[in-house]
Structure 1
Amino acid sequence: MKISTGEITTHVQRLPATGRDDALGEPPVVVFVHGLLTDSLASYYFTLGPAFAAEGIDVIMYDLRGHGRSDRPKSGYQLERFVGDLAGLLDALGERRRVHVVGNSFGGTIAAAAAAWHPDRVATVSMIESEPPVEEWTRHMADGLADAKDQLRHEEVIGWIKDNHGAHTARLSRGASRILQTTTLAEDVPSGRVISDDLSAIGCPLLAIFGDESGLSAQVPSLEAKLDRCRTVVLPDQGHSVLVERTDDTRDILLEWVREHELTEAVR
C-alpha cells in the first residue's frame, strides 16, 4: 500500500506476526530499511521479512524516497529527509511501540540516525554492512555517488556490468543512473545532517554485521570502543553483499538480537 508520510507518498508492506502466543503480549516490531540506488523493499521481502513474521514478529518494509514505488521528488535527499520519512511512516501507521530498525548499507546509516534523532522511537539498531552518519561517512558518500553518477551514464559501462555481472545487475544499474541523473540525490546525501564522531547520540543497543572482505569491517574496533551496548559480527569469506549471500546467517543473528532485547528495550 501507499501512504502519506509527510511531503511524499511511501510504498509500504506489512507482514503481521504469526503463530505468537497471545500470553506473550504485543509482538516486537522490526522495520527493515534497504540500501541506496539499486535496492528496494523487495530485497527484504525475498530474504528476511517472511521469516521474521513467521517467528512472531511484526514486520514493516518500505521503499525509500526515490526508490521502488515510493515518490521520487527531484530534490530533498538529505539524510534527515530519509529519517523524517521513517518517523512519518510510523506515525501514519499508528505505530507506538518502539521499533527494532534493521538497515542494509545506506539503510543502516538511516537506522543509526533515527536512533540518534528519535531515541523514543527506536529500541535497537542493526546495521548490515553500514556506517554511522559521521563526518567521514559524508566524504565516502560524496566520492562514491559522484563517481556513480558519472560512470553509469555511459552505455559502455552498463555493457561491461552486463557482461561481467549479468543482465539483472545491468538493469539495476540503469535504474540507479536514472535516479542519479534526474534527481539531486548525489549532491544531497553527503550534504545532510550528521552526528558527532564519538557516537554518543546513539543511546540504544547497536548490532553491526560485516563481511571480513569488506573495508567496512575496519570499523569494528571503533564501534566497540565508542558504544557501550554494541555487538559486532564479522562473517568470514564475505564481501559487501551479506544480506543476499549470507541470508541464513544474517537471519539467525538478527533474530537472536531482537529476541534478546524484546522485553528490555521495546516497551516505552
Structure 2
Amino acid sequence: MAFLDLDGLRCHVQWLEPRDGGAPAATVVLLHGLLTDSLASYYFTLAPALAGAGARVLMYDQRGHGRTARPPSGYRLERFVDDLENLLDRLGETGPLHLLGNSFGGTVAFALAARRPAQVRSILAVESEPATAAWAGKLDGILRRAETELVKKSTLAWVAAQRGRHTARLARSAGVLLAQTTLAREIPASRLPAEAELRAIRCPVLAVYGTRSDLAPQAAWLEALLPDCRSTFVPGQEHSVLIETPEVVRELTLSWLRDQGVPLRAPAADLATAGTPSRAADRRSAR
C-alpha cells in the first residue's frame, strides 16, 4: 500500500508484481466505478489472478473514494483523467497499458485513450460507456436521486434487507460522499469529448454487459462508433457484473489479454479455462 501526491491529491495506490518474480508480461490498470466502489472490488478478485499470470497490476482509489482524499470539489470527468495521467507519470508507466474499467472506471479509460492514444494498448470496459451528452444526462438523474435517497434511514434499511449489511454500509458511505462534495453536480457538467475524438480511439476494445442491463442495447452503437470494438454478454446479469460474477470477468480478462498477444504465464489448465468462458456470449462486429 502506498500514498502518492497527485497534484495536491493524496491518492491511495496498490500494485501487484508478477507472482513468479519474473518480468511483467504486461501492465494492467484497474479502474473502479463511482460511489460504492473502490479498488477493493479488484483486490480480492481479479488482481491476484492477473499477477499470477505474470502481469503487473496497478489499482488506485479514485478521488473521493476509498482511502484517497475527498476534496469538496473537483469531480468533473477531466479531473479523474488528470489523476490517472499524473499517477502513470509518477510511476513511470509510459505504456502501452491495458485498461480495465468498471462502470465509471471504463468512462475514465475511454477518456484517457482519447487523450493519450499511444499509451493505451487495449480497453476492457465492464458495464461502461464513453462520455456523451446521453451519458451526462443519465448520470445527472442517477446522482440526484442518490443524493436524496442515500441519506434516508428507510432507504438504507431497505438496502440492508435486500442486499446485506455490507452493501448498506457502502451505500451510507456513498451518501456521505455526495453530501460532502459537489460530485453530483460536477460529473454531469464534465467536458464531453467530440464524436471525432471518440472515433479516434483505435485500440482494441472489449465491452462487457449483463444481458439484463440497461446498457446492453448500446452495444451496436459502440461497435459502430469505435473502429475495433466487440461486445460480450453475461447472461442474467444487470449492472453489477463484476461484483456478481467475478469469475466470469476474470476468465474474460485473461482470454482478452491473450488475444492481445500478452504472453501470460498462468498454468496451462487455467489458461484453457480462461479461453472458453462458459457464461458469456460473444458478439464480434461484422465489420
Q: Which runs of 5+ in 1 are unaligned?
A: none
Select which of 41, 44, 48 maps to 1:43: 41
After TM superposition, the score normalised by the length of structure 2 is 0.87
Once structures 1 and 2 are overlaid, which stretch shifts more, 174-183 or 145-154?
A: 145-154
Could you tell me whether the CA contact under 8 Å between 1:142 and 1:187 is conserved in 2? yes
Could you tell me whether the CA contact under 8 Å between 1:31 and 1:59 is conserved in 2? yes
1:220 matched residue in structure 2: 219
What amino acid is the match of 1:211? G
What amino acid is the match of 1:17? P
1:14-67 C-alpha deviation (Å, 9 max, x unpaired):
100133765xxx521000001100011010001100000000000001000000
Identity of aligned residues (%): 45
2:32 matched residue in structure 1: 34
Counterpart CA distance in 2 for 1:160 and 1:252 is 33
Once structures 1 and 2 are overlaid, which stretch shifts more, 148-157 or 71-80?
A: 148-157
Could you tell me whether the CA contact under 8 Å between 1:15 and 1:60 is conserved in 2? yes
State whether structure 2 residue 7 is matched by structure 1 residue 6: yes
Once structures 1 and 2 are overlaid, which stretch shifts more, 229-238 or 208-217?
A: 229-238
Q: Secondary structure at the match of 2:199?
A: coil
Counterparts of residues 52-67 of structure 1 (less than 5 Å): 52-67=50-65
Using the TM superposition, give the Cα deviation of residue 263 of structure 1 relative to its aligned residue in structure 2, in angstroms.
5.9
Using the TM superposition, give the Cα deviation of residue 120 of structure 1 relative to its aligned residue in structure 2, in angstroms.
2.3
2:202 matched residue in structure 1: 203
1:203-243 C-alpha deviation (Å, 9 max, x unpaired):
21111000000010111111112222112101111111111
Distance 1:7 1:121, change over 3 A: farther
Report how many aligned residue pairs link the two structures.
261
Using the TM superposition, give the Cα deviation of residue 7 of structure 1 relative to its aligned residue in structure 2, in angstroms.
2.7
Using the TM superposition, give the Cα deviation of residue 76 of structure 1 relative to its aligned residue in structure 2, in angstroms.
0.2
Distance 1:263 1:53, change over 3 A: closer
Using the TM superposition, give the Cα deviation of residue 113 of structure 1 relative to its aligned residue in structure 2, in angstroms.
0.8
1:94 matched residue in structure 2: 92
Once structures 1 and 2 are overlaid, which stretch shifts more, 118-127 or 53-62?
A: 118-127
Once structures 1 and 2 are overlaid, which stretch shifts more, 43-52 or 26-35?
A: 26-35
Counterparts of residues 148-163 of structure 1 (less than 5 Å): 148-163=146-161
Counterpart CA distance in 2 for 1:188 and 1:262 is 39
Q: Secondary structure at the match of 2:30?
A: strand
Could you tell me whether the CA contact under 8 Å between 2:199 and 2:227 is conserved in 1? no
Once superposed, which parts of structure 1, at least 4 consecutive aligned residues long, lie more than 6 Å away? Answer: none
2:284 matched residue in structure 1: none
Counterpart CA distance in 1 for 2:17 and 2:233 is 30
Counterparts of residues 28-177 of structure 1 (less than 5 Å): 28-177=26-175
Could you tell me whether the CA contact under 8 Å between 1:20 and 1:55 is conserved in 2? no
After TM superposition, the score normalised by the length of structure 1 is 0.93
Could you tell me whether the CA contact under 8 Å between 2:81 and 2:108 is conserved in 1? yes
Could you tell me whether the CA contact under 8 Å between 2:28 and 2:57 is conserved in 1? yes
Counterpart CA distance in 1 for 2:157 and 2:21 is 49
Could you tell me whether the CA contact under 8 Å between 2:156 and 2:168 is conserved in 1? yes
Using the TM superposition, give the Cα deviation of residue 96 of structure 1 relative to its aligned residue in structure 2, in angstroms.
1.9
What amino acid is the match of 1:218? P
Counterpart CA distance in 2 for 1:29 and 1:263 is 10
Could you tell me whether the CA contact under 8 Å between 1:109 and 1:133 is conserved in 2? yes
Distance 1:234 1:125, change over 3 A: same
What amino acid is the match of 1:232? S
Q: Which runs of 5+ in 2 are unaligned?
A: 264-287
